[in-house]
A = this chain, B = another copy of it.
Amino acid sequence: MTYVCPTIAEIRAAVASGESSPEQFVIQSFDAAQASQAELHAFQYLPDTAPVNRAEAALAGVAVAVKDIIDTADMPTEFNSPAYAGRRPGQDACVVARLRAAGATILGKSVTTEFAFRHPGPTVNPWNSAYTPGGSSSGSAAAVSAGIVPLALGTQTQGSVIRPAAYCGVVGFKPTYGTIARTGVLPLAWSLDHVGLFARTVADAAYVLRLVAGTDAGDPHASHVPGTVTVEKATGRRIGMLTKQAGGALEPAQQAALDALAERLSHDGAEIVMVDLPAEIFDTPRHALTLMGVEAAITHGELVDRSPELVSAPMRELVAQGRALPATDYAMTKVLQGRMAHRFDRWLRETMALDALLVAPASGEPPRGLDFTGDASFCAPWTFLGVPAVTVPAGFGPMGLPLGAQLVGAANGDVALLDLAEWVEQRTGWKTGVAAISAQ
């Protein structure tokens, strides 16, 4: 019989009523993680016994998979790099500490691509092991998809939360830039890095956001998005759909899934508007590459010089590209990022008066094989702009693999966006189902 762990809401209800103990849930997650490991490879590290957090708090009984670029005091954090084998940071990342304080149990470290960039790990897609789960937060997406844990932490610098979430048929949420502090998280490019969440439901992600949001003095990288997350709920359902996706053409099934969802939303009272993105949005991949190259060169340049054989070719190339750029290119890109974020915000909220955009999280189903984790360009513009994005499962493609629907909101409008996404989620027609690979 296949075990599928309950949602956070279900765990909380069962613990509150006394029907189950927090420990039971954590042990079930731990057993599921171990049982799935040989086939799914979602975890980079699992302890020998279930590490139950006995704090009586909001997330008691909630087991969490933590992407292996996020520091944990009691487990290794190795970045999927041989250069960091056996690395044990002395303390928890800020977001991990906040989860523990809220009662969650850190179950293990989930597989990441090398340094959260391209070079893939061994995790497979739970729906079909011949396909990638997406990346770079591969293990986190797979662990939630396979019903092992109700919550996982990932990071997104281009499309590393939203894309794997869509490929694995789970909810992925990337909040406004800076909302979840990155203290203790390995940077790929701090001007673009976001900590994000994987969950089974939008409501679970929204619940956890409240517990982990907030700046931290150890995360000194300033936001180019002023202000802080407002707690306002969605007031309207005016949703823009793109005449042309930011990432390019969609597979027919992905387009059909978006269209069917839009029709249902319209039927239920949403106002669906076809819009053209401001032209400059299509330039964001080039700008993002400038920021990634330069910032990766600072983080990984020394390692590349010292031990190039321990670094993948794509990362070596990224570092070389960044090192070749003049300072004025980088500085101008930082200015453009701020300006474009402001302009997009005005375009979305004022010019178009939209509550959200409904866009594709990827071109469609995941690529076959594990070598290529998929095209991030359907997510990268929203990451560059720092605006919140959430993907919900929205059907299946011809290969029987999941498709998603991504909602993108205004900066700092995270709560309103999640509120709207919860309404959308109820109308996707998605039957949770069970992935082919899950714990026995």
Residues of A bordering B, CB below 8 Å: 190, 215, 217-218, 220-227, 290, 293-295, 297-298, 301, 322-323, 325-332, 334-335, 338-339, 341-342, 345-346
Q: Determine which of B221, B294, B326, B346 lies in contact with A217 in the assembled complex, contact meaning CB atoms within 8 Å.
A: B346
Instruction: Give 6 closest A-B pairs by Cβ, nearest first.
Output: A220-B338, A327-B330, A325-B327, A294-B327, A222-B224, A222-B222
User: Which residues of the partner chain B approach A297 to less than 8 Å between Cβ atoms?
Assistant: 327-328
Using A326-B323, A326-B326, A339-B220 as known contacts, say yes or no to A331 and B226 having CB atoms under 8 A apart: no
Q: Are A342 and B217 in contact (CB under 8 A)?
A: yes
Interchain CA distance A332-B338 in the complex, whole Å: 18
User: Which residues of the partner chain B approach A290 to less than 8 Å between Cβ atoms?
Assistant: 327
Interchain CA distance A322-B328 in the complex, whole Å: 7
Distance between A296 CB and nearest chain B CB, rounded to angstroms: 10
Using A325-B327, A326-B326, A329-B327 as known contacts, say yes or no to A298 and B335 having CB atoms under 8 A apart: yes
Q: Are A224 and B220 in contact (CB under 8 A)?
A: yes
User: Which residues of the partner chain B approach A223 to less than 8 Å between Cβ atoms?
Assistant: 222, 226
Distance between A300 CB and nearest chain B CB, rounded to angstroms: 11
Please give me the residue from chain B that is nearest to A293 by CB atom: B327
Q: Is the interface of A mostly helix, strand, loop or mixed?
A: helix
27 contacts between A and B (CB under 8 A): A215-B227, A217-B345, A220-B338, A220-B339, A220-B341, A221-B335, A222-B226, A222-B338, A223-B226, A290-B327, A294-B328, A295-B331, A297-B327, A297-B328, A298-B328, A298-B331, A298-B335, A301-B328, A322-B327, A322-B328, A323-B327, A323-B328, A325-B326, A325-B327, A326-B326, A327-B329, A327-B330
Please give me the residue from chain B that is nearest to A333 by CB atom: B327
Of the candidates A227, A294, A327, A342, the one having the most CB atoms from chain B within 10 angstroms of its own CB is A327
User: Which residues of the partner chain B approach A338 to less than 8 Å between Cβ atoms?
Assistant: 220-222
Interchain CA distance A301-B329 in the complex, whole Å: 13
User: Which residues of the partner chain B approach A326 to less than 8 Å between Cβ atoms?
Assistant: 323, 325-327
Of the candidates A221, A223, A226, A290, the one having the most CB atoms from chain B within 10 angstroms of its own CB is A226
Distance between A185 CB and nearest chain B CB, rounded to angstroms: 15
Please give me the residue from chain B that is nearest to A190 by CB atom: B335
Q: Are B332 and A330 in contact (CB under 8 A)?
A: no
Interchain CA distance A323-B220 in the complex, whole Å: 26
User: Which residues of the partner chain B approach A322 to less than 8 Å between Cβ atoms?
Assistant: 327-328
Distance between A336 CB and nearest chain B CB, rounded to angstroms: 9
Interchain CA distance A301-B215 in the complex, whole Å: 36
User: Which residues of the partner chain B approach A301 to less than 8 Å between Cβ atoms?
Assistant: 328
Please give me the residue from chain B that is nearest to A177 by CB atom: B222
Q: Are A294 and B342 in contact (CB under 8 A)?
A: no
Interchain CA distance A50-B325 in the complex, whole Å: 51
User: Which residues of the partner chain B approach A221 to less than 8 Å between Cβ atoms?
Assistant: 335, 338
Distance between A36 CB and nearest chain B CB, rounded to angstroms: 39
Interchain CA distance A298-B335 in the complex, whole Å: 10
A295-B331, A297-B327, A323-B327 known; 7 other A-B pairs, CB under 8 Å? Answer: A190-B335, A215-B226, A222-B224, A298-B328, A325-B327, A326-B326, A330-B331
Q: Are A335 and B220 in contact (CB under 8 A)?
A: yes
Of the candidates A220, A224, A335, the one having the most CB atoms from chain B within 10 angstroms of its own CB is A220
Interchain CA distance A293-B326 in the complex, whole Å: 12
Interchain CA distance A225-B220 in the complex, whole Å: 8
Interchain CA distance A335-B220 in the complex, whole Å: 8
User: Which residues of the partner chain B approach A346 to less than 8 Å between Cβ atoms?
Assistant: 217
Distance between A319 CB and nearest chain B CB, rounded to angstroms: 10
User: Which residues of the partner chain B approach A330 to less than 8 Å between Cβ atoms?
Assistant: 327, 330-331
Of the candidates A215, A223, A328, A329, the one having the most CB atoms from chain B within 10 angstroms of its own CB is A328
Interchain CA distance A328-B324 in the complex, whole Å: 9
Interchain CA distance A328-B190 in the complex, whole Å: 13
Distance between A278 CB and nearest chain B CB, rounded to angstroms: 15
User: Which residues of the partner chain B approach A190 to less than 8 Å between Cβ atoms?
Assistant: 335
Interchain CA distance A341-B294 in the complex, whole Å: 22
